[in-house]
Chain A
Amino acid sequence: MTSPRVLDGLVIAGLAVLPFVAPGYLDLGTRIVILILCAMSLDLLVGYCGLVTLGHAAFFGVGAYAAGIFALRASAEPLAGLLAGGAAAAIAGVLSGAVLLRSRRLTLIMLSLATVLLLQEIANKLGWLTGGADGLQGIAIGPVAGLFAFDLFGRVSYVYAATVLALAFLVFRSLVDSPFGHSLVGIRENEGRMRAIGTPVDARLGTAFVIAAAMAGVAGALQAQVAEFVALNALSVEFSSEILIMLILGGAGRRYGAFLGVPLYVVMQDYLAREDPANWYLWIGLLLLGIVFLAPGGLVAWIGAVTRRVRASRA
C-alpha cells in the first residue's frame, strides 16, 4: 500500500500542475475544484459518519448566497466573503443539524430534502435580498488579498479556488486521520456500541455536521465569487443528488473519492451534453445502477482491487 502521505502530496501537486498541463481548461478546472470541495465535505457525512443526506446543496447554497450578499452589501474583499459564506453555512448546519441528527435513515433523508426545499422557497420568496428566481446578480469581487485581481482567463480564479481546496484537504485529512475521525467511523460501523463505550455520539456527529456544512458553504462562496452570480438552483435537490453521485463515483469514505469522482462526472457531463444531451439522466442512472451492482465502493475501491490483483499475479 502506498503511504497516504505520498498520495496526499500527489493530489496537491496535481492541483498545482493542472494550469500548466491544460491552460485552456481553467474555467472547467475551477468548476471541478469547487465541486471537489463540496463533495469532499459531503464525504465527511456520508463516507465517514454514515449519514446519508440528500440535502448538501442547502449548505452550498447558503454559503453562495451569503458570500454574494456580503459582496453586494458589505465588502468586495473575497477572503472576508469566504468567511461570511462559511460562517453562514455553519449556522445553517447548527440549526438543521439540531433537527436532522435526531433521526436516521429514511427520516434523515426526508428532513434533508425538506431543508433544501425550505431554503429554496425562502430564497425564492425573498426577492429583494436574493434576486428570487432570477438569481443574485451584479456581484463584483475585488482582488484577492488586495493584490490579485480576477483576470479574463480565469488564472487567478483557478489558483484562488485550488489554494482553498488544498488547505481544506489538509484540514480534511487531519480530521479523518485523527482520533475524532476514527470515532466517526466507529459510529458509522456501530452506533450503539460506540454509545455503550462512552463516545459522545451526538456531539461527535454534530461537530462533523457543522464542519461539513461550513466546508460546503466555503465551496458555495467560491462559486459565487468566481461566477459573480448565484443561481437559485444552487439550493436544489437536483444539485444535492448530483454532489452525492459525484462522490459515489469516486467512492465514499475513501479519502480521494471526491478527487476522482468529480472530474469524472464533470468530464462525462461535458462530453455527453455535447453528444447526447437528451439522455444524460438515462446514462447517469444506468451508471449508478452499474456501480451499485458491479463496483460498490466506487472508483477508489475498484482501483484498489485492480492493483491488488496485479500485485498478487506478480507475486
Chain B
Amino acid sequence: MSELADLLVSLTFYGTAYGMVLYLLAVGLSVTLGLMRFVNLAHGVFAMAGGYLTVTAMSRLGVPFLAAVIAAVVIVGLAGMVLERTLCRRLYAAPILEQVLFSIGLMFVSVAIARYLFGPLAQPIALPEWLTGRLDVGIGVFPTYRVFLVGVGALLSVAIWAGIERTTFGASVRAAVDNRRMAESVGIDVNTVFTVCFGLGTALAALGGSLGADLLPIYPGYPNDYLVYFLIVVAVAGVGNVRGALAVALAFGIVDTVIRYFLPDAGRILIFLVVMAVLFRNPHGFAPKIHA
C-alpha cells in the first residue's frame, strides 16, 4: 500500500513539473489570444528560440545557466515586441485563416533556420551542478531539476496572478480583454498594452523553453510537435483564463504522466480522448473570458 502511495506521489510530482513547463509555454498564448483574438500557432517558436539561445550561450560562450536563461528571455521578449509592432499587429482584424497561415509560415521559416543553424538533432543542455543531484522535499526524494521547475513555476504563477490582479497595468489588460472599445475610451493605451503583453507572453514561452530544455528537448520540430499541448491548455482552460491555464496545465501534466506510466501503449490515445470528452461537455473550456 505504501509503495503504491509512494508511486502516486512521485507520478504526481513528475506530472506537476511537466505541467509547470506547459503552463509557462501556454500562458502567453492564452493572454494574446484573449486580448487580440490573435490565433498564434507559432507560439512554440519563441520557446524553441529561448532554448536554443540558452544552450548556445552556455556551450559556445560559457555563460552560466541562470545568466544564459535571463539573457535568452530578454532577447526573445524584445524580439516578440518587434514582431508584434511590425507584423502581427497587421493581422488582428484579419480573418482567422490569415492568422493561421501567418503562423504556419513563421513556424516553417523558423524550423528551417533552426535546422540550418543547429542541425536536426536535439540540443543537450548541460545543467549546472546545483541542479543535477536529488533533493529530499519531505514527501520524497526527487531530482533537484524537477524541484527547481516546480518552485520556479509556482513563484511565476503567483507573480503572473499578482501582475494581472493587483497592478494598474494588469487592470488595463483585464479591461482590454473584457471590452476593448470601452478600455480605449477611458484612456487606456490599448496598443501599448498589446505590445507589452505580446512581449511578456513570448518571454514566458522562452523561459519555459529554456528552463524546460532538459524535459522537452530543443530540436527543430519543437514548435510543431508540442503545439497541440499548448493549444490543449489554452482551449480547455478557456481563452484568456490565466488562472485556469495553471490548473489545466497541472492537471494535464499529472494525468498524462499517470496514464503513460500505467498504460504506455494506449497513453497518447487515451489523453486525446479525455481532452475531446472534456471539450464535448464544455466547448468553450472551463471559464472563458471570451469566446474566441
Point out residues on A near B: beta carbons under 8 Å. Answer: 46, 50, 52, 54, 98-99, 102-107, 109-111, 113-115, 117-118, 121-122, 125, 237-238, 241, 244-245, 248, 252, 278-279, 281-282, 284-289, 291-293, 296
Contacts and interface: CB of A to CB of B under 8 A. Distances in A.
B266 A125 contact: yes
A102 B279 CA distance: 8
Given A113-B228, A125-B266, A106 B105 contact: no
A114 B96 contact: no
Nearest to A297: B98
A279 B220 CA distance: 13
Given A285-B109, A292-B91, A52 B96 contact: yes
Binding site of A, secondary structure by majority: helix, strand, loop or mixed? helix
B265 interface: yes
B11 interface: no
Interface string B105-132: 1111111110110000000000000000
Contact of A281 (B108, B227, B268): B108
Nearest to B111: A281
Contacts of B105: 284-289, 292
A194 to B, nearest CB: 17
Interface string B197-229: 000000000000000000000000000100110
B108 A284 contact: yes
23 contacts: A52-B96, A52-B100, A103-B235, A107-B235, A110-B228, A110-B232, A111-B276, A117-B272, A118-B268, A118-B272, A118-B273, A125-B265, A125-B269, A248-B97, A281-B112, A282-B108, A285-B104, A285-B105, A286-B105, A288-B101, A288-B102, A288-B108, A292-B91
A215 to B, nearest CB: 20
Contacts, number: 128
A105 B96 contact: yes
Given A110-B232, A117-B272, A118-B272, A292 B41 contact: no
A282 B283 contact: no
B284 interface: yes
Interface in B60-105: 87, 90-91, 94-98, 100-102, 104-105
Nearest to B227: A113
Interface of B: 33, 39, 41, 87, 90-91, 94-98, 100-102, 104-113, 115-116, 224, 227-228, 231-232, 234-235, 239, 265-266, 268-269, 272-273, 275-276, 279-280, 283-285, 291-292
Nearest to B40: A106
A102 B104 CA distance: 24
A103 B41 CA distance: 17
A110 B235 CA distance: 8
A245 B104 contact: yes
B252 to A, nearest CB: 12
Contact of B292 (A46, A50, A105, A114): A105
A112 B227 CA distance: 12
Contacts of B239: 106
A103 B279 contact: yes
Given A110-B228, A121-B269, A281-B112, A102 B101 contact: no
Contact of A285 (B106, B235, B279): B106
Contacts of A281: 108-109, 111-112
A296 B99 CA distance: 11
B39 A114 contact: no
B135 to A, nearest CB: 35
B37 to A, nearest CB: 8
